[in-house]
Amino acid sequence: MRILIEGVGGVGGIIAARLIAAGFEPVLVTGNPEIAGAIKKNGISAKTPTEEFNVLAKAVVSLDDLDEQERFDAAFLIMKANRVVEAAEKTISLLRGDAGYVVTFQNGLVEDAVAAAVGAQRVISGIIGWGATMHAPGVYEKTSGGEIHIGELDGSISERIKKLEAALEVVCPVVISNNIRGALWSKMAINCMITSMGALTGQLLGEMLQERRVRRAFLVIYREVLDTASSAGIKVERIAANPRLFYLPPNAGPLNRFIKDVLMKILGRRYRKLKSSMLQSLERGRPAEIDYLNGYVVETAKKHGVPVPLNSLVTRMVKEIESGKRKIEKRNMDELLAEMG
């Protein structure tokens, strides 16, 4: 199986390293000359909770650097959501015949946009359930455990999805989903409250969740996402935890509210040092993925008549940060809480 990996940050680096160690020969497209140069010179150094190893790898900066005759069975797209459509369009001619496909590994829901660009039959969706970081160009660490979920957009269990599962099993446990959209919405609900809120305040998760009103705001954002999914006919699926775990109905009684608040406290303590990936993008002057997270929820909610005031405000505020009209600061949370009442 010939694999092209586009995007060799933390996650892409770990996936590449494990595939190579298992005998695959993926070609890596880094988009960064420094990373490509380091990998060419020193290979990939990978560390996981159970092992450390180094592998040699073929890395280039862009698709233009590839041999014109080279063709791939699958391309793993592991870049930010706002770059994935362009990447898919440029990649499609490098795939073998009509059978080649791209695998989307993004935060947020990009599958509709990618399918519109290259055809739904050329897209498989993937969800990474673990974390990784790049300490230096070509030096990677897997920082948590978890699974990879993959699925055909139509829910079928195809032969190609089984072959993809077999390849990815050398990286970590793999789950084939017949409801990948439901799994995507489950992950998106978490990201809409954790990733986006961190981008507004500049705080770590533990800092944000120290305040009761903020914990309540997280729960309202989460509820709006799940209510939108339900109205769109999507059954949310379990990934790491039951997707109803953080769902607080509007008419919840005092005991239920207390339980959900305790769960949010536990979340804040367990992941207190977590820094939003969206915040990191904004700090580097890069665009956020808000259109594929809270913004996607807002657009879907409009189609189904679901009120999502907090997700709407988060989307607007992040866009204002992107445009330079708003600063990243704790005061943004006060404005959000005022909207909640």
Domains of the chain: 3-178 (3.40.50.720), 182-340 (1.10.1040.10)
pLDDT in tens, 214-242: 999 999 999 999 999 999 999 999 987 89
Return the closest-CA partner of residue 263 out of 278, 246, 248: 246
The answer to whether the beta carbons of residues 72 and 41 sit under 8 Å apart is no
Both tokens assigned to 275: 């820094």
Return the closest-CA partner of residue 114 out of 153, 147, 140, 64: 153
- Quote the pLDDT of residue 75: 98
- What does the pLDDT profile of the chain (341 residues) look like in tens digits? 999 999 999 999 999 999 999 999 999 999 999 999 999 999 999 999 899 999 999 999 999 999 888 899 999 999 999 999 999 999 999 999 889 999 999 988 999 999 999 999 999 999 998 889 999 999 999 988 889 999 999 999 999 999 999 999 999 999 999 999 999 999 999 999 999 999 999 999 999 999 999 999 999 999 999 999 999 999 999 987 899 999 999 999 999 999 999 999 999 998 888 889 899 889 989 899 999 999 999 999 999 999 999 999 999 999 999 999 999 999 999 999 998 87
- Quote the pLDDT of residue 240: 78
Q: How many residues does the chain have?
A: 341
Residues 66, 55: Cα–Cα separation, whole Å = 20
* Residue listed under structure tokens 């829901």: 109
The answer to whether the beta carbons of residues 81 and 111 sit under 8 Å apart is no
SS3 (DSSP) at 29:
strand
- Quote the pLDDT of residue 67: 86
SS3 (DSSP) at 232:
coil
198 Cα distance to chain centroid: 15
Residues 76, 125: Cα–Cα separation, whole Å = 10
Both tokens assigned to 113: 């946009």
pLDDT in tens, 85-97: 999 999 999 999 8
DSSP string for residues in 233-277: T-----SSS-TTTT---TT--HHHHHHHHHHHHHHHHHTTT---H
Both tokens assigned to 163: 């072959």
Residues 93, 88: Cα–Cα separation, whole Å = 9
- Quote the pLDDT of residue 69: 85
Q: Which amino acid is at 201?
A: T
